[in-house]
Structure 1
Amino acid sequence: VIGSDGFGYANEAGKWIKIPQVGSVNIGNGVEVGANTVIDRGALDDTIIHDNVILDNLIQIAHNVEIGEGTAIAAATVIDGSSTIGKHCQIAGLVGINGHIDICDGVIITGMTMVTKAITESGVYSSGIPHSANKEWRRN
């Protein structure tokens, strides 16, 4: 789905009011978009996917996101609103990127990483947590 409204709501006296999403989606040349990937339109500005970006299946790209040229993103990744991904980045599967985060050029993010703050230097970043029995996990 390309150009759906972003998740913009305000709570007024216990009632959710939809905030109009008036931006668009700009997709560059040579972009691949996998099945069931969602690219939300911008709230005020546009959501921008630059040239030669490869998007796998089941990716959520929220409103006002910008993805730099030549970046590849694997399945089940979520990029929250108003984040910027640099050029020639590689983002593995099941990555979560919080909103309003800037990621510089040439970054590699390994699977299941949760990005909660800006990445200002190129390199490889990881934070995945392997599974364990619930009883053991609760002790931590």
Structure 2
Amino acid sequence: MELVARDWPGDTHPIRRRCAATTRRPWRATVRRNTNPATQGTAVQLTTGQAAAAYGVHRSTVHRAIKAGRITATRRGDGTRVVDLAELIRLWGEPAHPPGEQRPGNAGGDDVQRETVEALRALRDEVAALRGEIAEQRRLPPPPTPSAF
């Protein structure tokens, strides 16, 4: 195999150098398994999805913070990535929706569901009535055509 200039580690071309830098995986160093039984389960740990929901951000935002090294994550025995709540508080402050607390929008879930079902029934009745009107219109004789002068 012949080596060309771009195959050498000291390549100085800016685009190839930038592309090579993006293939590194710095997040591998920040994700580690928590194997110390003394520290397992002592702190509140949230999955990335739970952390995102607590702070009202997207999961990818939490993953980017882990990848950038702003917060550290560990993997549970089942392979799920978890973050200590203390790490999240250090980075983003107190969460808007603490874990375990029900969000205000979900407080009246039964009432909202009941209203939605009633509205759906009303819409179905309206659609059935409109279909009946359309069928009735189709049964009428066609309108008379105007005669030519």
TM-score (norm 2): 0.23
The structure that has the greater radius of gyration is 2
TM-score (norm 1): 0.24
- Greater share of helix: 2
- Greater share of strand: 1
